[in-house]
Structure 1
Amino acid sequence: MRFSVFLAGRTTAPEQDQQFILDNIEHAGLAAELGFDAVFLPDHHFTGYMPVASDPMMFAAYLTAKFPELHFGFSVTSVPLHSPVRFVERINILDQLTKGKLLVGVGSGTTPEEMIGFGVNYKDASPVSESNLAIAEQLWAKTMADAPVEFDNGTYRGKVLQRIAPAPYSKGHARLMPVAMKEASARRAAEHGWPAFIPAFTPPKIGGTEPLKHVTKYFTAYRDMLLAAGHSDETVADALSWTTHSYQCVHVAESDDQAREELEAILKGYQAAVDREKLYGDKAEQDAANTKTDETPMALTEDWIATWCLYGSPKTVREHLEPYAELGIGNILCGTTTGPVTQQRLEWGNRTLRLLASDVMPHFRNNG
Structure 2
Amino acid sequence: MRFSVFLNARTMRPEEDRQLMRDLERHAVKAADQGFSAIFMPDHHFNGYMPVASDSFVFAAYLAAKLPHMHFGFSVVSVPLHHPVRFVERINILDQLTDGKLLVGIGSGTTPEEMIGFGVNYKDAGAVAEKNLELAEALWSKAMEDPAIVIDNGPHQGRVLQRIAPANYTPRHARLMPVAMKEASMRRAADNAWPAFIPAFTPPKIGGTEPFVHVKKYFDAYHDALTAAGHSDEAVTAALDWTTHTYQCVHVAESDDQAREELEVILRAYQDAIEREAEFNARAESDDANKKTDRTPNALTDDWIGTWCLYGSPETVIEHLEPYRDLGIGNILCGTTTGPLTEERLRLADQTLDLLSQKVMPALAKSPVAA
TM range (shorter): over 0.9
Cα–Cα, structure 1 residues 229 and 175, in superposed 2: closer, same or farther, change >3 Å?
same
Deviations 1:278-323 (A, max 9, x none): 2111100010000000000000000000000000000000000000
Counterpart amino acid of 1:304? Answer: W
Cα–Cα, structure 1 residues 367 and 127, in superposed 2: closer, same or farther, change >3 Å?
closer
Counterpart amino acid of 1:40? Answer: F
Counterpart amino acid of 1:136? Answer: A
Aligned: 1:345 with 2:345? yes
Count of matched residue pairs: 368
Q: Secondary structure at the match of 2:52?
A: coil
Counterpart amino acid of 1:152? Answer: D
Deviations 1:194-248 (A, max 9, x none): 0000000000000000000000000000011000111111111110000000000
Q: What is the Cα deviation at residue 367 of structure 1?
A: 11
CA contact under 8 A between 2:10 and 2:339: conserved in structure 1?
A: yes
Show the counterpart of 1:154. Answer: 154
CA contact under 8 A between 2:106 and 2:177: conserved in structure 1?
A: yes
Whole-angstrom CA distance in 2 between matches of 1:87 and 1:72:
16
CA contact under 8 A between 1:246 and 1:334: conserved in structure 2?
A: yes
Q: What is the Cα deviation at residue 69 of structure 1?
A: 1.1
Show the counterpart of 2:295. Answer: 295
Deviations 1:231-266 (A, max 9, x none): 111111110000000000000000000000000000
Show the counterpart of 2:164. Answer: 164
Aligned: 1:113 with 2:99? no
Whole-angstrom CA distance in 1 between matches of 2:228 and 2:367:
27
CA contact under 8 A between 1:48 and 1:274: conserved in structure 2?
A: no
Deviates more, 1:149-158 or 1:324-333: 149-158
Q: What is the Cα deviation at residue 151 of structure 1?
A: 2.2
Counterpart amino acid of 1:134? Answer: E
Equivalent positions of 1:211-250 (< 5 A) are: 211-250=211-250
Cα–Cα, structure 1 residues 47 and 215, in superposed 2: closer, same or farther, change >3 Å?
farther
Whole-angstrom CA distance in 2 between matches of 1:154 and 1:240:
35
Whole-angstrom CA distance in 1 between matches of 2:154 and 2:11:
35
What root-mean-square deviation, in Å, do the aligned CA atoms of Structure 1 and Structure 2 show?
1.1
Show the counterpart of 2:313. Answer: 313
Whole-angstrom CA distance in 1 between matches of 2:274 and 2:152:
36
Show the counterpart of 1:84. Answer: 84
What 5-or-longer segments of structure 2 have no aligned partner? none
Counterpart amino acid of 2:289? Answer: A
Same amino acid, percent of matched pairs: 70
Q: Secondary structure at the match of 2:241?
A: helix
Q: What is the Cα deviation at residue 48 of structure 1?
A: 5.2
Deviations 1:47-89 (A, max 9, x none): 4521100000000000000011110000000000000001000
CA contact under 8 A between 1:128 and 1:155: conserved in structure 2?
A: no
Counterpart amino acid of 1:43? Answer: D
